[in-house]
């Protein structure tokens, strides 16, 4: 299977997982299928010391296509109240969980927009380096949805239950400075050097 929405490479022992649908790097159905392939077949066989995730271009990612996601959920739900997540959300959750459980340093280098599923992906990493001017948020509630790939669990573990509920239910955007204040990101740097600074930190961790 060719990777069309994700770029994958290994340089100096570091795996680079790049969301590659600029400018918004929207997470489409193909993206989630390719992420599933990466986390089940490609990364487990790769000899890497660390993993960095970032977006190609100005943005990390605008997140999933919520209109497509809503229709896909309706297509896969049985009549009445669902007992389990639709199969495709289960697969995506497992992909994010795989990244969360990797026993190597994992970094999200975030710039531009980072919304919804993209923020959930970043929260799956152990470290998050953010560019000044970045805008983050969970807008799912605006579409009648909720974070369905682990964000509703990982966010409270970082900011506490009360703050997490406020951010998820309101669906409001927040800044890189706020994200740093609440502990969602570990460092805020100039957007021109966010990738370089993240790689520098990875190099220090590997060296130590």
Domain CATH number, residue 56: 3.90.226.10
Q: Kind of pairing, strands 113-115 and 135-137?
A: parallel
At 186 the three-state DSSP class reads: coil
Give the pLDDT band of residue 143 (cuts 50, 70, 90).
Answer: confident
Q: Give a yes or no: residue 97 inside a domain.
A: yes
pLDDT digits (tens, 9 = 90+) for 11-68: 999 999 999 999 999 999 899 999 999 999 999 999 999 999 999 999 999 998 876 6
Mean pLDDT over 203-207 rounds to: 91
pLDDT in tens, 72-121: 666 666 555 555 666 677 888 999 999 999 999 999 999 999 999 999 99
Is residue 190 in a domain? yes
Residue 180 lies in a domain: yes
How many residues are listed for the chain in this entry?
208
Q: Which domain holds residue 16?
A: 6-207
Task: Answer for the pair 29, 76: CB distance below 8 angstroms, yes or no.
Answer: no
Quick check: is 1 in a domain?
no
Q: Which residues of 55-68 are buried (b: 16+ CB within 10 A; e: fewer)?
A: bbbebbbbbbbbee
Instruction: Please state the domain count of the chain.
Output: 1
pLDDT band at 207 (very low <50, low <70, confident <90, very high): confident
- Angle, helices 29-37/87-101, rounded to nearest 10 degrees: 50
């Amino acid at each position: 299977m060719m990777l069309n929405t994700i770029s994958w490479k290994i340089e100096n022992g570091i795996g680079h997982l790049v969301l590659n649908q600029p400018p918004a790097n929207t997470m489409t159905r193909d993206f989630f299928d390719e992420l599933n392939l990466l986390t089940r077949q490609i990364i487990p066989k790769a000899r890497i010391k660390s993993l960095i995730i970032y977006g190609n271009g100005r943005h990390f990612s605008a997140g999933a296509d919520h209109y497509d996601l809503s229709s896909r959920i309706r297509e896969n739900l049985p009549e009445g109240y669902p007992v389990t997540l639709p199969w495709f959300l289960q697969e995506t959750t497992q992909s994010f969980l795989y990244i969360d459980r990797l026993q190597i340093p994992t970094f999200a280098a975030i710039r531009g927009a980072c919304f919804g599923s993209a923020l959930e992906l970043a929260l799956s990493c152990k470290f998050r380096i953010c560019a000044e001017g970045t805008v983050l948020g969970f807008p799912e509630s605006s579409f009648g949805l909720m974070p369905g790939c682990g964000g509703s669990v990982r966010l409270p573990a970082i900011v506490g239950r009360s703050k997490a509920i406020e951010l998820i239910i309101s669906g409001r955007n927040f800044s890189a400075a706020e994200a740093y204040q609440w502990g969602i990101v570990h460092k805020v740097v100039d957007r021109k050097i966010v990738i370089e600074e993240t790689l520098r930190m990875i190099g220090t961790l590997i060296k130590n």
